[in-house]
Chain A
Amino acid sequence: MPKEMTGAEMVVEALKDQGVDTIFGYPGGAVLPIYDVLFHQEKILHVLVRHEQGAAHAAEGYARSSGKVGVLLVTSGPGATNTITGLTDALMDSIPLVCITGQVPTHLIGSDAFQECDTVGITRHCTKHNYLVKNVADLPRILHEAFYVASTGRPGPVVIDIPKDVQFSRGFYTPPAGVAHKTYHPKLDADLSAIQAAVEMMAQAKRPIFYTGGGVINSGPSASTLLRELVALTGFPITSTLMGLGAYPASGANWLGMLGMHGTFEANNAMHDCDLMIAVGSRFDDRITGRLDAFSPGSKKIHIDIDRSSINKNVKVDLPIVGDCGHVLEALVRVWRAEAKHADQPSLDAWWDEINQWRAKKSLAYRASSKTIKPQYAVQRLYALTQNKDVYITTEVGQHQMWAAQHYHFDEPNRWMTSGGLGTMGYGLPAAIGAQLAHPKALVIDIAGEASILMNIQEMSTAIQYRLPVKIFILNNEYMGMVRQWQELLHGGRYSHSYSEALPDFVKLAEAFGAKGIRCSDPALLDAAIGEMINYDGPVIFDCLVDKVENCFPMIPSGKAHNDMLLADLSDDAGLELGSIIDEKGKMLV
């Protein structure tokens, strides 16, 4: 017998039935009925953020570190519009979110009422799907459907816009049953013929490479296990996108490091020269491919993706396999074993010899200093001092993000949370809050820049209120470093508005919030200061004053190919003459 209740009660009931234990939100007029229901229960922890963008990123951090759906609850109008950046971020990086927004009562919709906005219209372009609930009878189905759509197939954000009168209306609640959606049926298993064709191509390959992405992480931990098994079975080298770090362990023998614009020399050259590319849950983003007409010109390409529209979007592939990474990897391992396939070992040995020559370039090396803290050194020390702990890393966006990806190494999936597709400055602190709530005992560190951190610094209050001991490790070079690097490359070193003027005193700022502040500018004192940060039981802002003009290398300059990388110049104090490297066509790109 379905229970009769109000729409607001249905929302909370559905969250419980969906296994939600934590939601992020901010109250306001149009969601007060739901907040009133939250007041009367204790099963769901509501985390009060300080800005709705923070709620969205916190839900992302929660989702990515736990594999669950992230949930946020915000009011109409500005509450909804403030989530747009976070929703778009989740869409680009395929993060499952359910965002519940309040709306003005149905009879006021369209009247430009106070705090009214066309939420479903505005979020149509930045969600996987969205709903405006006009009748309380539809609400239970839509709530459960939203979780299903958000978490299955290629995951993504879903918005449910609920007018205030619907929240007050009474109706019958139905718990989630087996979802039989009318139109939405993601394809999980690939055709066996495609699997067999892939295995055949892999057995024939002379210079193969795995190129994996965030899809492996999204598919769940078993996909990472299967990936490791397949790499071990074949002996093929493997590289990954920024989003896929941790699926294959960085300490694994076949790991080439990250690929792409700031990837390693060996990963990018191997991508360029391979004869078989096996793309698993990756989408040939422009940060990965560089110049498309020179992208891996001599290779056959297999593309495994759950999203059919990702295949042949940017790069034409020879063998498309539509399915869930985990399912497809399982089938590949099974068929490879059943058919007793083995790699072409002599060719593979020669391929590894070639790769090892690229490795010997040590493309992540930088000029060490005993006077100033090099940002790479700071990340390396942070890694050395935290690698044996239960650690989750988030980042903001910019140079520090790339240095973190290069020098912090991940052996497990779901440990690394960064804004890859959208590149959202201000992502890291709220994401760290979300990750810390999902893993209360873990060490959660936001590797930040001094510019990015100020974009959502208000969330320090959230960390304090909920006693979340997140550590913010700022690589402070007093520049929007990546902007400055590009201005050096493209605009003759005219650093237009990329200097971080009028910075706050981050130690005092931490103290003003009720957190601990630590500052360090001496490489000799860095280890002790990091130790102090780790051991402090509470949130910390660590102001790490680093070399102000260090650039992030290696780099594929815009419009160039994988085998046309810029490496750091380790010998010459004057550094590289960067201004003339990118041609006019390349300057047009982003």
Chain B
Amino acid sequence: MTTPASPPSPYSAALSSSKIESHTLSVLVDNEPGVLARVVGLFSGRGYNIESLTVAEVAHAEHLSRITIATSGAPETIDQIHHQLERLVPVHQVTDLTTSARSLERELAMVKVRGRGENRADALQLAEAFRARIIDATTESFIFELSGKPGKIDEFVDLMRPIGLVEFSRTGVAAISRGPEPI
């Protein structure tokens, strides 16, 4: 889902030298038709990256949804994304969870692994170490469910690869701030 970086141009030279950072943005929006398309269209139209995206209603009566976007770019680009999102009419609030103090990020994944004999035992052992649950099993396969930080899921998937990874499905990042205050 990432867009290749544009070729260096004298017009953009002044801002393009900075380091690329990963940020998680929490966007509270009116849950109206097309709002997700607006957010996603902003990213594609302006050439920003989306590394993961989750969206779900969070307050039914108020018609509010929370969109959590993991993105990457130079600090100036992240700043632009933040303010461009705020400019969208149905957006209530944009919070950069990476800079705005302590936040928690979690992702859920379901991982299908196929194998017999030793591979089966290896898979089970690793699943236990990662606290993955078995949610489906046959004589030659498992489906594991695990949740955690995106890096943990990457790691688990990489370990399953030589054992007999068939496929996996992950939800994308959900995030929230620590402590008693809302985001």
Interface residues of A (CB under 8 A from B): 120-121, 124-125, 128-129, 132, 149, 182-184, 286, 289, 291-293, 295, 307-309, 311-316, 559, 585-586, 588-589
Contacts and interface: CB of A to CB of B under 8 A. Distances in A.
A291 B10 contact: yes
A120 B41 CA distance: 12
B87 A307 contact: yes
Contacts of B90: 183
A145 to B, nearest CB: 9
B84 A293 contact: no
Contacts of A295: 14
Given A307-B87, A313-B80, 17 more contacts: A120-B34, A124-B41, A129-B89, A132-B33, A132-B34, A291-B10, A291-B11, A292-B11, A292-B12, A293-B13, A308-B86, A309-B80, A309-B87, A312-B79, A312-B80, A588-B7, A588-B9
A315 B14 CA distance: 8
Nearest to A184: B89
B38 A589 contact: no
B14 to A, nearest CB: 4
A585 B10 contact: yes
Contacts of B11: 286, 289, 291-292, 559, 589
A315 B11 CA distance: 10
Interface string B56-91: 000000000000000000001001100110110111
A588 B10 CA distance: 9
Contacts of B87: 307-309
A299 to B, nearest CB: 13
A160 to B, nearest CB: 13
Contacts of A124: 34, 37-38, 41
Contacts of A182: 30, 92
Interface string B72-114: 0000100110011011011110000000000000000000000
Given A182-B92, A183-B90, A586 B10 contact: yes
A312 B14 contact: no
A129 B76 CA distance: 25
Contact of A309 (B34, B83, B89, B91): B83
B170 to A, nearest CB: 28
A309 to B, nearest CB: 4
B179 interface: no
Nearest to A158: B89
Nearest to B42: A125
Contacts of A308: 83, 86-87
A132 B38 CA distance: 14
Q: Which 6 residue pairs across A and B have the least CB separation, nearest first?
A: A309-B83, A292-B14, A293-B13, A129-B89, A559-B10, A308-B83
Interface of B: 7, 9-15, 30, 33-34, 37-38, 41, 45, 76, 79-80, 83-84, 86-87, 89-92
A291 B14 CA distance: 9
A142 B92 CA distance: 18
A309 B30 CA distance: 21
Nearest to A311: B83
Contacts of B83: 308-309, 311
B89 A589 contact: no
30 contacts: A120-B34, A125-B45, A132-B34, A149-B89, A182-B92, A183-B30, A183-B92, A289-B11, A291-B11, A291-B13, A292-B10, A292-B11, A292-B14, A292-B15, A295-B14, A308-B83, A308-B86, A309-B86, A311-B83, A312-B79, A312-B80, A314-B15, A315-B14, A316-B14, A316-B76, A559-B11, A585-B9, A586-B10, A588-B7, A588-B9
Contacts of B84: 309
B89 A293 contact: no
Contacts of B34: 120-121, 124, 132
A295 B14 CA distance: 9
A125 B46 CA distance: 10
Nearest to A130: B34
Contacts of A588: 7, 9
Contacts of A559: 10-11
A124 B89 CA distance: 12
Contacts of A183: 30, 89-92
Contacts of B14: 292-293, 295, 315-316
Contacts of B13: 291-293
Contacts of A184: 89
A311 B15 CA distance: 13
A199 B83 CA distance: 26
Given A293-B14, A313-B80, A316-B14, A125 B89 contact: no
A249 B66 CA distance: 49
Nearest to A292: B14
A293 B30 contact: no
Contacts of B37: 121, 124
A589 B37 CA distance: 30
B10 A293 contact: yes
A132 B33 CA distance: 9
B59 to A, nearest CB: 13
A120 B89 CA distance: 14
Nearest to B91: A183
B57 to A, nearest CB: 16
Contacts of A132: 33-34
B7 to A, nearest CB: 8
Nearest to A183: B92
Contacts of A313: 80
B89 A128 contact: yes
A128 B90 CA distance: 11
A588 B6 CA distance: 12
A132 B34 CA distance: 10
A316 B15 contact: yes
A550 B14 CA distance: 34
B54 to A, nearest CB: 21
A126 to B, nearest CB: 10
A291 B10 CA distance: 6
A203 to B, nearest CB: 28
Nearest to B34: A120
A222 B29 CA distance: 35
A315 B13 CA distance: 10
A588 B45 CA distance: 21
Nearest to A313: B80
B64 to A, nearest CB: 10
Chain B CB within 10 A, most for which of A292, A315, A316: A292
A265 B84 CA distance: 34
Contacts of B76: 312, 316
A124 B36 CA distance: 11
A292 B76 CA distance: 15
Chain A CB within 10 A, most for which of B7, B45, B79, B91: B79
